[in-house]
Copies of this chain bind each other. A is one copy, B any other.
Amino acid sequence: MSTQPTLVVLGASGDLAARLLFPALYALEQRERLADLKIIGYARQEWTTDQFHENLRASIDMGDSEVDQKYLDMFIDRMEFHGGDLSVESLRQLTGVLEGDAVFYLALPPGVFADAAETIARAGLADETNGSRRLVIEKPFGTDLTTALALNEQLHKYWREDQIFRIDHFLGKETVQNILVFRFANRFIEPVLKSAHVDEIQITVGETLGVEGRSRYYDGIGALRDMIQNHLIQMMTFVTMEPPARRDPEMLRDHKVEVLKSVALVDPAVDAVRGQYSAGLVEGTPCIAYRAEPGVDPTSHTETFAALRLHVDTWRWEGIPVYLRSGKRLAAKAHEVAYRFREPPTSLFKHTPFEKAEPNWLVFRMSPSECTELVVRTKQPGLELEARESVLRAEYATSDEREASAYESLLLDILEGDHTPFLRFDEVEWSWRIVDPLISAWQHGAPEDYVAGSDGPAGQHRFLDPGHAWRPLVNPTS
């Protein structure tokens, strides 16, 4: 009996598949990590497999000068196309095609996730007699707690939780995974990552881009649901979770859920700020206002910037704020996670430049540069025994090291059945529980205006606790 595994990409003619999935699968081919995997593109189009292959060659070749013809041929060889819609009848044609383990990747609009998952199962394709069956979906997982719970209920009618792989592609990023490695593979840092020594955590995901053709989806959703509820809150779990004792996906996710469940109820009146960009200059280029973007309601109150203060009420993080912010059309692209340390007893260096120097920061930067930084005090060169700011720094990778894209990494984990970087439903649920009060509150009122190309609304600075300040979007040392 053959047990060749199969990956079925539903929505194979779509943007996600062409732009991210197939290039990532090709990259895995080039790394020789696909073994005997068969890949089936499935879409409504009446393409022949030859036509599909031509499209694939075009999308893989596009913009990548390092495509190796040998690997591209091997890649094309393992791809076949099946035309059909998301009906039980259509999908049944795949029954005889799937010989062993099979993964169904729903590269489809979120609105059809539930129906597609159900139809696949009703077509008999979720039956595990001849091999495992897995389902891959990408965020958004609902638009609030209620819709997320409903979606999940529908999925669980036909699929067990351990068959479902929910993608938050930030968790596939190497520099995000590096947070866990740095925290748990080093002896010196974990003992001081607690509120006895740390007095603040900041997570910033700032973009210079605007809505970029996603306005129909984005308007009415906004930064809170598009970024904070998933990517930023996930990063927050990485920086605040307790160290798991073993490398066990369920233990890891248990620890993440523990953090999510420990977040104190957010008060929309004081713990959050929202903004929407007006026309301005981003890195020298004139940009129109959000409300003037094609596809956006000209009276829209959708926030393109959101900032949030959370308290993680664990023994480890008692009492200190965790600040999250994300926005579009900001002055610079900046993705980073930073712990700020408390001051040491200052009596040794009072009345020296030390007092003006930054406190210690541990920074994981993902963009624009990829590096780990420790902001420290060292001796000021010269005659006096004084301290100044200095940065201990390591680039994440050298220029000749090949990093994996988030999709490469995630696709391989799916094929290997490793749940580590995927969201269990309770993570999704408790993330919605954190932001739900804000979603309700923000049905009313309007976001604060900010000029495109600025660092966001002024309110983000006012709402911080006294003595705290956002790190600059443009980092002076990188």
Using a CB–CB distance below 8 Å, which chain A residues touch chain B? 31, 33, 174-175, 177-178, 180-182, 184-192, 197, 243-247, 341-345, 347-350, 354, 359-360, 362, 372-374, 376-379, 381-383, 385-387, 390-394, 396-397, 401-404, 408-409, 412, 420
Contacts and interface: CB of A to CB of B under 8 A. Distances in A.
B178 A379 contact: yes
A191 B192 contact: yes
Contacts of A191: 191-192, 197
Contact of A174 (B244, B373, B379): B379
Given A192-B191, A404-B383, A349 B394 contact: no
Contacts of A182: 376-379
A182 B45 CA distance: 65
Contact of A184 (B174, B344, B392, B396): B344
A341 B188 contact: yes
Given A181-B387, A185-B354, A381-B401, 9 more contacts: A174-B381, A182-B378, A185-B349, A187-B192, A187-B344, A188-B189, A188-B192, A382-B404, A383-B408
A377 B181 contact: yes
A378 B374 contact: no
**Residue among A359, A394, A397 with max Cβ neighbours from chain B (10 Å):** A394
This protein's copies in its complex: 2
A251 to B, nearest CB: 10
Contacts of A376: 182, 186, 188-189, 372, 394
A348 B188 contact: no
Contacts of A372: 376, 378, 390, 392
A385 B413 CA distance: 11
Contacts of A197: 187-188, 191
A247 B349 contact: yes
11 contacts: A177-B379, A185-B349, A186-B360, A187-B341, A191-B191, A247-B348, A372-B378, A376-B394, A379-B396, A382-B404, A393-B394
A33 B383 contact: yes
Given A377-B186, A378-B396, A181 B245 contact: no
B347 A247 contact: yes
B188 A360 contact: yes
B390 A348 contact: no
Contact of A381 (B245, B381, B397): B397
A178 B347 contact: no
A147 B396 CA distance: 56
B385 A190 contact: no
